[in-house]
A = this chain, B = another copy of it.
Amino acid sequence: MKRLIQGLHEFQTTYFNTHRELFELLSQGQHPKFLFITCSDSRIDPNLITQTEPGEMFIIRNAGNIIPPYGATNGGEGAAVEYAVHALGIEEIIVCGHSHCGAMKGLLKIEKLEDEMPAVYQWLKHAEATRRIMKEHYQGYEGEDLLNASIQENVLTQLENLRTYPVVQSRLKAGKMHLHAWVYEIETGEVLEYNALQGQFLPPNTQFGRIAWLSKEQQERIYKGSYSKNS
């Protein structure tokens, strides 16, 4: 624990010291623009990879960046989504998976988890759609390729689940809510975003360029739609 206690002191004498005004302001309330949902994995630091400061992102973290469909659990995920959207008025939600995800590795051999880690086993059932997609659409895949595909598919699965939340659905209908599917690659530091037009995960800037070709209505229609490759 010494490591952490020293870190707390270092934080105070460095970052906090040079950002006193920011923290003073933040103590009066939070107004984050983003809900960032990612894995508990220690290798991800959401504020670091987006270079955001305290106050900018409301963050949910669990094993596998899973958001169960509305009503499927009574855990913390639903409450945090509801609070983010209803109480804080957030309109941009990012689900961010990552390479080498232990939860997805677990999902691909879920039968081995029941005895050793019963709670993980139960929890991964909320990624059952991902597991089924892998089984029925990726027969030829193995090893890293299979894992990487499952990481991408899982992020899309969780976006579908997010769409089942009443507060999200209502905002989507109003055109005031945008859902983003990201995958962060630990070894390259790169993030890919799902591009509904291309049906692929691509570097985010590329996407901005391409979408500019389309009319606003076309973009909307494509963007709000479901996340199948044929859209």
A-to-B contact residues, CB < 8 Å: 1, 3-12, 14-16, 23-24, 26-27, 29-30, 32-34, 40-45, 47-52, 54-64, 66, 68-84, 86-87, 92, 94, 99-100, 102-103, 116-120, 122-126, 128-129, 131-133, 136-137, 156-157, 159-161, 163-167, 169-170, 173-174, 178, 180-181, 186-191, 194, 196-197, 199-200, 204-205, 208, 221-231
* Contact partners of A225 in chain B: CB under 8 A: 225-227
Given contacts A222-B221, A229-B199, are A40 and B16 in contact (CB under 8 A)? Answer: no
* Contact partners of A72 in chain B: CB under 8 A: 69-72
28 CB-based A-B contacts, threshold 8 Å: A8-B50, A9-B205, A14-B51, A16-B189, A23-B186, A29-B100, A41-B58, A42-B54, A44-B54, A47-B47, A47-B48, A62-B75, A63-B76, A68-B75, A69-B70, A71-B126, A78-B123, A82-B117, A82-B119, A87-B120, A129-B165, A132-B170, A133-B170, A136-B170, A136-B174, A196-B231, A199-B228, A200-B229
* Contact partners of A69 in chain B: CB under 8 A: 69-72, 161, 164
* Contact partners of A156 in chain B: CB under 8 A: 227
The distance in angstroms between the C-alpha atoms of A54 and B49, with both chains bound, is 10
The distance in angstroms between the C-alpha atoms of A103 and B79, with both chains bound, is 10
As for how many copies of this chain the complex holds, the number is: 4
**A133 adjacent to B173 (CB under 8 Å):** yes
| CB-CB nearest in chain B for A125 | B71
**B199 adjacent to A11 (CB under 8 Å):** no
* Contact partners of A188 in chain B: CB under 8 A: 23
The distance in angstroms between the C-alpha atoms of A66 and B217, with both chains bound, is 31
- Checking B1, B71, B120 against A83 with a beta-carbon cut-off of 8 angstroms, the contacting residue is B120
The distance in angstroms between the C-alpha atoms of A43 and B52, with both chains bound, is 11
**A199 adjacent to B230 (CB under 8 Å):** yes
- Checking B40, B132, B163, B222 against A160 with a beta-carbon cut-off of 8 angstroms, the contacting residue is B163
Given contacts A27-B187, A74-B74, are A87 and B117 in contact (CB under 8 A)? Answer: yes
Given contacts A133-B169, A189-B16, are A119 and B78 in contact (CB under 8 A)? Answer: yes
